[in-house]
Structure 1
Amino acid sequence: MANKVVKATNEELQQVYNNIPKAYDRANRFISFNQDVRWRADLVKTILKFCERPKLVLDVAGGKGELSYTFKKIFKVNAKYEIILSDYAENMLKMALIEEDKVLCSFDALPFREKMFDVVMSSFALHAADNIEDVIREITRVSRKIVGFIAMGKPDSWIKRVYLSVYLRYIMPYIAALAGAKSRDFKYIYYIYERVPTNSFHKKIFEKYIDIKVYEERGLNLFYFVVGFPKG
């Protein structure tokens, strides 16, 4: 039987929100229905349930490091640990919210040895992959204990697929514009959504490489939330 997600407390969320920078990634906020901060905190808490004292953590396709930032706010221990932030966009790494080491690389070709990291995690990035299986193979290859990620998928229900397609194409970009963003910068999210496979397809790939302990679909099944141990 699958374990439940460990929910972040209001106090933990408040700490993250209070320190969050003004240049926060609006795209994740809008496509997650303003839940991205909470979901990242839930992901960190759930990962730590299965790996209480990680020594080495990799944030895959971490962008500016919002997930790493959240990890540091929640995981406060006396023991020393290290986070490595990776992304293939140099400008994102230059704007990172954390001071730790940064590595410029693609998530489907990680330049790390096998089973190097205690924790390999990612948030709102894996859906950009041309081949999701290549990415899952890589993140499980470099993890020796636990993997956890949140990304955009596609509901198996055709009714939800149609609704979300309309929302992402015609509504969400203009909601973003009301918040001061450029609507054209958010239209790419719709095109990513259109090309990604359904969640049931994703889950079969995950089960091939991961001993899944937590699997959830959130936000009208637009996102999958996965935590588990690499197989083998």
Structure 2
Amino acid sequence: MKSFKVRYYILIHVPRISNEELQRIYNDLPKFYDRANALISFFKDVEWRATLVKYISYYYPDTRRILDVACGKGELSYVINKMIKAETVMVDYAENMLLNSFVKTDRVQGSFYKLPFRDESFDCVVSSFALHSADDIGEVVKEMARVSRNCVGVIAMGKSDNVMYRKYASFYLSYIQPYLACLVGAKSRDYKYIFYIYQRIPTNNQLRNIISKILDLKIFEEKALGTVYIFLGSKH
């Protein structure tokens, strides 16, 4: 009975995850991060990253310098380096993520709320599986656009406008995903916070409206029943 009450409270009152708590979680993840993300996305994460890079190459073929925001261990930068001839710079606020990066490029510790770069320092600014953790997604996209000359591209966790899809996603994120992560040795408690983030993010249509005020969208696609979105847009 006690367990039921706790779960009901979580569904109604979504707690704010502090920056300090997020940093602790991300610093604890690197050893299993890439394997856990592959497993819980049913091995689609690399495919989605490659899709974003293809869109960048198609719409912005002259892209030569790219900033990977909230880069983690460099999964997106790795795909970029395999698919197009571009220099990548990686930024993340979790030191352990940068230290455990498997991409040999410039790495900078910093927050996506205030990127430590001058205006229009990069041809393109990208991010994968991180934007959903922002308290104000619009402000982070504005900051990404500030340091970009041309485009901003993102893959992140979404929330379908379909009620049934949202119920399925809530169940999956709350009860299944944390234990899938355990299969590769990650700590289930470090993945349970993703459910809290899911509860507070806007729906995909709401998000599209937010982004459209900042960027001229070329692409906005939903994947996995709307639980993931990919967008690419240029500055107004």
The TM-score bracket by the shorter chain reads: 0.7 to 0.9
Aligned to 1:66: 75
Deviation at 1:24, TM superposition (A): 5.0
For residues 57-136 of structure 1, what are the structure 2 equivalents within 5 Å? 57-75=66-84, 77=85, 81-136=86-141
For residues 9-24 of structure 1, what are the structure 2 equivalents within 5 Å? 23=32
| SS of residue paired to 2:213 | helix
The two structures have a TM-score, normalised by structure 1, of: 0.84
CA gap of 1:30–1:189, structure 2 versus 1, over 3 A, is farther
Aligned to 1:208: 213
Deviation at 1:159, TM superposition (A): 1.1
Deviation at 1:131, TM superposition (A): 0.8
Q: What is the letter of the counterpart of residue 176 of structure 2?
A: I
Q: What is the letter of the counterpart of residue 204 of structure 1?
A: N
Kept after mapping to 2: 8 A contact 1:212/1:229: yes
Kept after mapping to 1: 8 A contact 2:153/2:232: yes
Q: What is the letter of the counterpart of residue 111 of structure 1?
A: P
Aligned to 2:202: 197
Q: Distance in 1 between matches of 2:108 and 2:186?
A: 28
Aligned to 1:38: 47
Q: Distance in 2 between matches of 1:108 and 1:27?
A: 26
Deviation at 1:209, TM superposition (A): 0.7
| SS of residue paired to 2:135 | coil
| SS of residue paired to 1:186 | helix
Aligned to 2:16: none
- RMSD between aligned alpha carbons? 1.7
Deviation at 1:31, TM superposition (A): 4.2
Q: Distance in 1 between matches of 2:141 and 2:108?
A: 19
| SS of residue paired to 2:124 | strand
The two structures have a TM-score, normalised by structure 2, of: 0.82
Q: Distance in 2 between matches of 1:180 and 1:109?
A: 33
Aligned to 1:159: 164
CA gap of 1:187–1:26, structure 2 versus 1, over 3 A, is farther
Aligned to 1:14: none
Kept after mapping to 2: 8 A contact 1:152/1:224: yes
Kept after mapping to 2: 8 A contact 1:173/1:183: yes
How many pairs are equivalent?
Answer: 207
Kept after mapping to 2: 8 A contact 1:28/1:124: no
1:221 matched to 2:226? The reply is: yes
Deviation at 1:136, TM superposition (A): 0.7
Deviation at 1:30, TM superposition (A): 4.0
Q: What is the letter of the counterpart of residue 137 of structure 2?
A: I
Deviation at 1:46, TM superposition (A): 0.9
Q: Percent identity?
A: 52
Deviation at 1:122, TM superposition (A): 0.7
Q: Distance in 1 between matches of 2:42 and 2:200?
A: 21
Give CA deviations for 1:26-81 in whole Å, capped at 9, x if unaligned: 44324433210100011111111122232211001111111001100111x4xxx4
Deviation at 1:180, TM superposition (A): 3.3
| SS of residue paired to 2:67 | strand
Determine which of 144, 148, 161 is the counterpart of 2:149.
144
